[in-house]
Amino acid sequence: MAKFKISSLRTVRQWPTLTKDNRVSFFSNDWKSSRPKFVRPVIGGGVMFMLLFLGACSYFYGTLYHSNYRYDNFRVLAVDYDGGVIGRSLQAAYQQLEGPHFFNLEFRSPSEYPSDDNVLHAVWEGKYWAAIFATEGASERLGAAIQGDNADRYNPAEALHYIWNGQYYPVFSTSVVKANIQTLVAATRIAYNRINGTGASAMLDQRNPAAVQALLNPIAATERNIKDASYSAAVLYGTIGSVTPVLSQFFFLLLLNGMFLEYQLYTQVTVGSSLVVRLGAGIFYSLGSALVQAGYWWAFGEDWDVNGAQFILTWLVLWVLMMDHQLLLETAFLLVPLPATPFIMLIWMFMNIPSTLSPLELQAGFFHWAMAIPGYNAYATLVTIWTGGARNRLYRTLPILFAWLVAGLIGTTLAHWRACHLAFKRQRVDVLERRDDKSGEAGQPAEGVMVSNQPAV
């Protein structure tokens, strides 16, 4: 079998299309003048791509550089409805934990937030990432339980309540906000033992096991999550989910522009009708592409609680986002040389990813300009949809998304007119040059060619 393969390979190498007799070596003198023309662009292009990825990845990684020193940019509301030792223990615990690696716990008086519904609304609106409060009468209930009064009914989780939104940047909401709240609750328990442990021990009904248990485990917390995002695919929505809209439009534009060149729509078809074809194809493709992405998000959402209306709204937001990406890339592709198009796509993609991957609170101020790009605003809009109206910033996100859409339509229209003009101009020059060549070979002017001193338009 090996001999057969080797002999077959030798036979193939003797084909007229592959034999050395019909070719020259790249390193021969015949290629001496052409080698630099080939090598320089290859080396230059390689260096340019390396610099592109260096800059793009430096920007990308820079958004998360020392982000753990900015955890104190996460604002968390705290209200003491208890007014007793548990409330004081909460404040003492935060004083021990306070620092750049811990969220910023802002204590407010009960007069500002008269009820827990007001606290919930503050987190719902997005003023705070989370909230924690000591419930009214918590210290009295604990003191009574330690003394044996209704000790068997004492629930330590009723001492503190906390509220958070797991749908908003799920990775950081879980790993930073929720994790630090749990750390704070544990520290509050320790602070209570330090502040009131001796006094509580003196009042302990040692014959009552429930009272002893209340002393050993005095404080815990009850959680309320505005929107759960514990399904496995949630981590992908702000990562891969922000890449696919750009990539899908990029590859479609490669196909569309290739067809325009193949069938000479830039030169043979009226500018208006070819523009309608371009925009129509783009609109229908982005609509279908958005439906596909919304569909597999829905399909792999496991127990994600999203209804039909939210699915339709998700589809429409993704459609607008993909149109923004498509029109911007299309405008750029019609204005820059073809070899530069991958640079444009990569730069635009890397600009959109960081703001959906990590919250702006963890990024240096330089990166906060990302609030103006489509990726961030689409993600913020989707979070509002998925949570049923929480963190509503539609007054800002929707105008920005549609501003990109309008600007893209204007840019694409002007760039398409320019492309048609230049393509027709190049075609006319090429035709004249070919006719001149034929005339020179025949020794006489080509029939039907008029000589003019006017430049091509």
Q: Which one of 3.40.50.970, 3.30.9.10, 3.40.1110.10, 3.40.1710.10 gives the CATH number of domain 67-225? A: 3.40.1710.10
Which pLDDT value is given to residue 457?
36
- Distance between CA atoms of residues 84 and 79, nearest Å: 12
Measure Cα distances from 395 to 132, 222, 362, 377, 400 in Å: 28, 33, 23, 11, 9
Note the pLDDT of residue 450: 42
Report residue 280 as tokens: 């129509």
Question: Model pTM?
Answer: 0.88
pLDDT at 428: 84
Sorted by sequence, the CB contacts under 8 Å of residue 347 that are 6+ apart come out as 52, 56
Averages of pLDDT over runs of 10 residues in the chain (457 residues) are 59 75 82 87 90 93 94 97 96 97 97 96 97 97 92 94 96 96 97 92 91 95 93 84 95 95 92 96 97 94 89 98 98 90 92 93 94 97 96 97 98 96 87 70 51 38
Residue 365 burial class via C-beta count within 10 angstroms: exposed 0-12, middle 13-18, buried 19 and up: exposed
Distance separating the N- and C-terminal Cα atoms of the chain: 65
Rounded to whole angstroms, the Cα distance separating 136 from 84 reads 9
Q: What does the block give as tokens for 27?
A: 């390193």
d(CA 15, CA 17): 5
- Within 10 angstroms of residue 375's Cβ, the number of other Cβ atoms is 26
pLDDT of residue 6: 62
DSSP per-residue letters across 295-312:
HHHHHT-TT----HHHHH
At 456 the pLDDT is: 39
Query: With contact defined as beta carbons under 8 Å apart, do 52 and 346 qualify?
Result: yes
Every domain of the chain with CATH number 3.40.1710.10 lies at 67-225
Tokens at residue 43, please?
């080396």
Report the alpha-carbon distance of residue 201 to residue 216 in Å, rounded: 10
Return the pLDDT at 302: 84
